Amino acid sequence: MYELDKEIKVPFEKMNKGFEEFEKTAKIWRIETQQATNDWKRNSGASNLVNRKTFQILNELPSFFDSNITPYGFKIDNKQYYFFPDRILIYQDKEVGMAYYSELRINTNVTRFIEDEGVPEDAEVVGHNWKYMNKNGGPDKRFNNNYQIPIVLYSEIDLNTSSGINLRFQASNKRAGENLLKSFEDIRQVKVSKK
């Protein structure tokens, strides 16, 4: 049971507000792998190939857990991450780990992405590439099924800790990462008893 004083209550509420806003993003993916490619002519000019999939944002208690606080979190494959006021709990199968906010590193940037799966409603389109292209950027006329693919601005977010959290997200709203980063600023400064 949590009895939150102002020192932790305000940062926790700010973080939760950040999760609420993040959840409103039209599309969010977990980047699973990213690898360089030299075959940019057949990949719309892309220099990296990205394997990504959507995931679930949670607002619930973990299984077999009772509390007066309902945390936000992520469900990614067989792992769940729960963001409580004093620590992050990580569930995987029957094991539970934890990390403190003081060790959480968050980095974010805006990246150009060649989007061939449909443009989400809150994404900003900044150009187009041909599916198959020449060095000059024009269409490769050897392919009769050639078409243009939008280039969009997306937010990329990295969450890392020394204790094993290593997540990279992509969000369709280019401001999503910066907003989430700001929502974590205060809670990362709070000193908690590490019992």
Rounded CA-CA distance 23/38 in Å is: 35
Q: pTM of the entire structure?
A: 0.85
Q: Please tell me the distance from the alpha carbon of residue 86 to that of residue 174, in angstroms, as a whole number.
A: 29
**DSSP secondary-structure letter at 187?**
G
| Interval 95-120: pLDDT, tens | 999 999 999 999 999 999 989 889 99
Per-residue pLDDT of the chain (195 residues; tens, 9 = 90+): 889 888 999 999 999 999 999 999 999 999 988 766 565 455 455 566 678 999 999 999 998 889 999 999 999 989 999 999 999 999 998 899 999 999 999 999 999 998 988 999 999 999 988 888 877 778 778 878 888 899 999 999 999 998 889 999 999 999 999 999 999 999 998 877 665
Give yes or no for a contact between 113 and 151, defined as CB atoms under 8 angstroms apart: yes
Residue with structure tokens 């709070």?
190
Cα gap 28→154, rounded to integer Å: 10
